[in-house]
Amino acid sequence: MDEDNICYTGVGSLKTGNHTKKQYLEIMNKTFKKKCAMYIKSLKCKACKKSVEMNNKEIKKKIEAQLKNKTYKISKKKEKKILKQLSSCERCKKKNTKTCNLDDYLLFSGADLGKCEV
């Protein structure tokens, strides 16, 4: 595998998808600097993790109800808890964000090390 190249086909990428590390970092810093930092922060934030966990539980309940041809309605109390958790998550993500490095950008964008396979 060629470690000096990165396969990235997302926003701002070259048509071939093949980039040098320098090209890739320039695209990421220009386009996703803030979003990446917030995403990486959210992966470590307890409030964000709890928020995702709570949402997943509610989605599972909704799917289970649909499979039984029933309707699932979230309670007002549960909805308030989830919204409070989301609010905490948003505050957490915006607080003390650092600049993303190559590994952070790879995780954020889904790009791969090496050349793109044709």
Closest CA to 19 of 31, 29, 9: 9
For residues 84-110, average pLDDT: 91
Tens digits of residue pLDDT in 45-82: 999 999 999 999 999 999 999 999 999 898 999 999 99
3: confidence class by pLDDT, cuts 50, 70, 90: low
At residue 112, the pLDDT reads 93
Task: Tell me if 88 is assigned to some domain.
Answer: yes
**Helix, strand, coil share of the chain (percent; to 5):** 60, 5, 30
pTM of the model: 0.74
Position 52 in a domain: yes
- Give the number of domains in the chain: 1
How much is the average pLDDT of 19-40?
A: 94
39-45: long-range contacts, CB 8 A cutoff, minimum separation 24: 39/108, 40/98, 40/100, 40/104, 40/107, 40/108, 41/92, 41/93, 41/95, 41/96, 41/97, 41/98, 42/89, 42/92, 42/93, 45/89, 45/92, 45/93
Six-digit token string for 115: 């050349």
What's the pLDDT at 77?
A: 94
Residues 90/96, Cβ–Cβ less than 8 Å:
no
Residue 118, domain member (yes or no): no
> Is the Cβ–Cβ distance between 36 and 104 less than 8 Å?
yes
Give the separation between CA 100 and CA 95, rounded to whole angstroms: 15
pLDDT above 90 as % of the chain: 80
Enclosing domain of residue 17: 5-113
